[in-house]
Amino acid sequence: MSLNQLSALEVAARVRAGELSAREALEASLAQIHAVDGQQGSLEQKPLDPSEEQKVHAFIRLTEDLARQQADEIDRKLSAGEDPGMLAGVPVSIKDIFTLQGIETTAASRILWNFKPPYTATSVQKLIDAGALILGKVNLDEFTFGSSSESSAFKPAPNNPWDPSRVPGGSSGGSTASVAAEEVALSLGTDTGGSIRQPAAFCGVVGVKPTYGRVSRYGLMAFSSSLDCPGPIARNVSDAALMLQVIAGNDSKDSTSSVVPTSNYLDALKEGVKGLRVGLSPDYTHLFYPDFETGELAMESIQKEISDSVQHAASVLADLGAEIVENVPLPNAKYGIPTYFVVSRVEAASNLHRFDGVKYGYRTPVEVDDLQDLIRRTRAEGFGSEVKLRILMGMYLSSEGYAANYYQRALKVRAMIRRDFDCAFDPHGEHRLDVILTPTTATTSFKRNDVFGNTVRMQYSDQMTVSANHAGLPAVSVPGGLDADNLPIGIQFIGPDFREDLILRAGYAYEQATLDEAWRSVRPAVLRQEVAK
């Protein structure tokens, strides 16, 4: 097994034991990036060699120098007998929405093409402090606005390592692609409506959206402040638990970050699922899609192989001693996307006000003598279409005369979505669930340009994930099989507030019980080619 296939836990254990130097781990990771990543995302429209079609393109920017310094520091600490940290020598990529002091942080947008923040995001700093090697910044949908990573202003956008003609999902598509392609062991992503879990499902990796407030948002460029959650992306549940352990906790720089103590997530994995009450909901077997002319909602079934995987996972857990509780009603989940359209757009429009060409980032090169002109042109040239769309929608939905019907109403529907979960998890209620098991997505990965441009269809890609964001609950997507096209399927566990330990336990139990299933030996296409070479 090559070094790059090792889990983060294994790398850290070997580095800490002196069996592997951080520098070796780093060079192996860089070699893999050079082998499979291809041309990095860039604002210049460079002509692409056809061979680039088969590459991953996860990265926007490599931070080799920084990573080498970090590796040398870890190796120095080891030889000095100091503790190099829980993630010593583990290669990590960072979604380019988190600030890292002195390193360009672009949000995959032209408007921040040259922005070098003088501050580091708390979660990134915690990774660094734990000894992780920051290999670079990975691509995403512009400002995280999307579910395919195709809206990035930095082209080429990332491909799905399982089928490079398909999208990795999004918005943390560069993160999940870099982990799936074994370029790094871990990646830091963000999840606002499903942006960690949906691409994790599409790329066959584990993605955790922690409870709102469990991981600090400081240094995460805001999309929708009341929904955004930084979280771990890894190739297995233990690594995700390890990374969560590092980044979780209260932060005095984020008022919404929680003072609830963190658990020991790694230890919790071992507790198994015996006696755990696992819910299945009929409201997660289909989605309601609007007719654009009549507004009527039509029911669409989810991909059969995905519902089969969920059923299979339920039976695996039942065999391990979990109690499966069927027919748990979550009736308001079907309003998740309409509610999200409102809440996230209103907050996004406001959060993006600050990009005006006055203080940092892009400013129109056109000579203007009026400030309003400068701001309009800067934003017109600096933002991509999807960003403009979200700003306009947010302006509309929060403007006087519309806000009462839309924004205020959406906040109430959001409360109803939350109440459904409260009932399901109520320890004295009818269902008394520990976790809820659902599909992560309604389909597996789609072809590039198939959905991109149809912004409603793209948004409905988050139908199964978005309700956990509305409710603030923790949720994890774990690989649950492959479909007929050898594309990964994700299954999701949703848990009560701050019970990341429960969803990780369930995910881990399922993962360990299915290690021998045939699909697990199938490798992503880009890695199969690599072997063939």
Q: Which residues are catalytic?
A: 95, 171, 195
Which of 71, 337, 451, 489 contacts other proteins by CB under 8 A?
Answer: 337
CB-nearer residue toward other proteins: 126 or 523: 126
DSSP per-residue string spanning 123-159: HHHHHHHTT-EEEEEE--SGGG--SSSTT-SSBSPP-
State which of positions 198-217 bind other proteins (CB under 8 A). Answer: 211-213, 217
Cα–Cα distance between 26 and 35 in angstroms, integer?
14
Q: Which helix (H) or strand (E) holds 234?
A: strand 229-234
CB of residue 221 to other proteins, shortest distance in Å: 4
294 binds other proteins (CB under 8 A): yes
CB-nearer residue toward other proteins: 65 or 293: 293
Binding mask 368-387 for other proteins (x = CB under 8 A): xxxxxxxxxx-xx--x-x--
Distant-in-sequence, close-in-space partners of 247: CB < 8 Å, separation ≥ 6: 123, 126, 127, 188, 215, 216, 230, 231, 232
Cβ atoms of residues 4 and 29 within 8 Å? yes
Cα–Cα distance between 51 and 38 in angstroms, integer?
9
- Scanning 35-43, 81-89, 365-373, 520-528 for contacts with other proteins by CB under 8 A, the matching segment is 365-373
In sequence order, what are the beta bridge partners of 477? Answer: 207, 492
417 binds other proteins (CB under 8 A): yes
CB of residue 355 to other proteins, shortest distance in Å: 8
CB of residue 439 to other proteins, shortest distance in Å: 20
Cα–Cα distance between 115 and 229 in angstroms, integer?
22
CB of residue 192 to other proteins, shortest distance in Å: 12
Q: How many residues bind other proteins (CB under 8 A)?
A: 116
Going from the C-alpha of 226 to that of each of 242, 347, 488, 498, the distances in angstroms are 26, 8, 30, 16
Which of 48, 403, 423, 513 contacts other proteins by CB under 8 A?
Answer: 403
330 binds other proteins (CB under 8 A): no
Which of 245, 459, 477, 492 contacts other proteins by CB under 8 A?
Answer: 459
- Scanning 32-40, 67-75, 84-92, 393-401 for contacts with other proteins by CB under 8 A, the matching segment is 393-401
Cα–Cα distance between 182 and 159 in angstroms, integer?
14
SS3 433: coil
Residue bearing tokens 């009736």: 331
**Residue 145 has which token pair?**
């606005």
State which of positions 68-107 bind other proteins (CB under 8 A). Answer: 97-99, 105, 107
349 binds other proteins (CB under 8 A): yes
CB of residue 411 to other proteins, shortest distance in Å: 3
Cα–Cα distance between 291 and 289 in angstroms, integer?
7
CB-nearer residue toward other proteins: 321 or 453: 453
Which of 76, 358, 430, 522 contacts other proteins by CB under 8 A?
Answer: 358
- Scanning 112-120, 147-155, 268-276, 520-528 for contacts with other proteins by CB under 8 A, the matching segment is 112-120
